[in-house]
C-alpha cells in the first residue's frame, strides 16, 4: 500500500510540475509545511561560501550550482548509525524527484566532515552502496590545501554543532538543507522523521519558481497530494 501511495504521489507531483502555472506558490507551500511538517524550518539566507572538490578532483563552489535546486547534507562515511540512514533517506527523496521532470533541475550533494578518512575511493563507493544515483549527485570533500576541519566549520555555518568523542566519532545533528536556484538557503528539514514527500513538494515549488500566491481552490494538485498522506 505504501508503495502504491508513493507511485500516486509521484504522478501527482509530475502533473503539478508540468502545469507550473497552476502550482501553489512557495508561500502557500511554506504555510502548509509549517502547519503539517513539524520538522520543517523555513529560512532565507545566503548560502555560506565554500570551495570543495569531488572524488575526481572537480572543484565545486556555490556559484557552480546556480540554476539548480540543491538538496544536501553532511555525513562522514565511518559513522556507524545515523549517517548511512540519512544517506538512504536522501536516496529515497532522489528517487522520487528523478521520477518526475524535476530530475534535470535538482542536484543532491553530500559533504563529508571527515576528509582525512574519506578518500576519493571511499567517496566513489559510498553513494552507490546507499542507493544514490550519480546522475545528479555529488560527494564533496576538501581540496588538498584546505585545513582538515574545513567541512566541519562549513557545517557549523549551516547551524550544526559538533563534538568529537574519544573513540573518533563525531556527534552532530541530522539536517537536510535546501538551496534555491538563485543560491539562497531556503529550508532545513530536521532529523530523520520528516515525510520525504513534504521535502519533494517544497523542491517542486522551487523548481517551478512559483513565488507569487494565487487563489486556486483545494482541488489543486497540492491538495490532492496532501490528501494521500
The residues facing 45 across adjacent strands are 185
Q: Provide the 10 A C-beta neighbour count for residue 180.
A: 22
What pLDDT shows up at residue 164? 67
Taken in order 170, 46, 51, 178, the sign of the CA dihedral is positive
Tell me phi and psi for residue 210, to 5 degrees: -95, 90
pLDDT score at 172: 73
Please state the domain extents for the chain. Answer: 2-227
Fold of 2-227: Glutaredoxin (3.40.30)
**For each of the chain's 229 residues, which pLDDT tens digit applies?**
444 444 445 544 544 444 333 446 788 899 999 999 999 999 999 999 999 999 999 999 999 999 999 999 999 998 888 999 999 999 999 999 999 999 999 999 999 999 999 999 999 999 999 999 999 999 999 999 999 999 999 999 999 877 766 666 666 779 999 999 999 999 999 999 999 999 999 999 999 875 544 334 444 445 545 454 4
Question: How crowded is residue 223: how many other Cβ atoms within 10 Å of its Cβ?
Answer: 14
pLDDT for 165 equals 66
Predicted local confidence at residue 26, as pLDDT: 85
* All residues at 6 or more sequence positions from 84 whose CB lies less than 8 Å from its CB, including other chains: 75, 130
pTM of the model: 0.81
What is the grid cell recorded at 19?
A: 502545469
Amino acid at each position: 500500500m505504501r508503495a502504491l501511495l508513493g507511485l500516486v504521489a509521484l504522478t501527482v507531483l509530475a502533473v503539478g510540475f508540468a502545469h507550473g502555472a497552476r502550482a501553489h506558490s512557495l508561500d502557500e507551500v511554506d504555510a502548509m509545511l509549517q502547519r503539517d511538517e513539524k520538522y520543517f524550518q523555513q529560512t532565507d539566507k545566503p548560502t555560506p561560501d565554500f570551495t570543495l572538490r569531488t572524488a575526481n578532483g572537480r572543484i565545486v563552489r556555490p556559484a557552480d550550482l546556480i540554476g539548480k535546486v540543491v538538496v544536501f547534507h553532511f555525513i562522514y562515511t565511518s559513522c556507524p548509525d545515523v549517517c548511512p540512514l540519512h544517506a538512504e533517506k536522501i536516496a529515497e527523496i532522489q528517487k522520487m524527484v528523478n521520477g518526475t521532470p524535476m530530475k534535470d533541475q535538482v542536484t543532491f550533494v553530500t559533504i563529508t566532515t571527515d576528509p582525512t578518512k574519506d578518500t576519493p575511493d571511499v567517496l566513489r563507493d559510498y553513494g552507490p552502496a546507499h542507493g544514490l544515483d550519480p546522475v545528479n549527485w555529488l560527494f564533496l570533500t576538501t581540496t588538498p590545501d584546505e585545513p582538515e576541519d574545513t567541512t566541519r566549520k562549513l557545517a557549523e555555518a549551516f547551524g550544526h554543532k559538533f563534538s568529537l568523542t574519544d573513540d573518533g566519532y563525531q556527534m552532530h545533528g541530522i539536517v537536510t538543507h535546501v538551496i534555491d536556484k538563485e543560491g539562497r538557503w531556503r529550508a532545513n528539514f530536521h532529523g530523520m522523521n520528516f515525510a520525504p514527500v513534504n521535502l519533494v513538494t517544497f523542491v517542486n515549488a522551487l523548481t517551478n519558481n512559483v513565488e507569487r500566491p494565487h487563489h486556486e481552490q483545494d482541488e489543486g494538485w497540492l491538495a490532492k497530494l496532501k490528501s494521500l498522506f
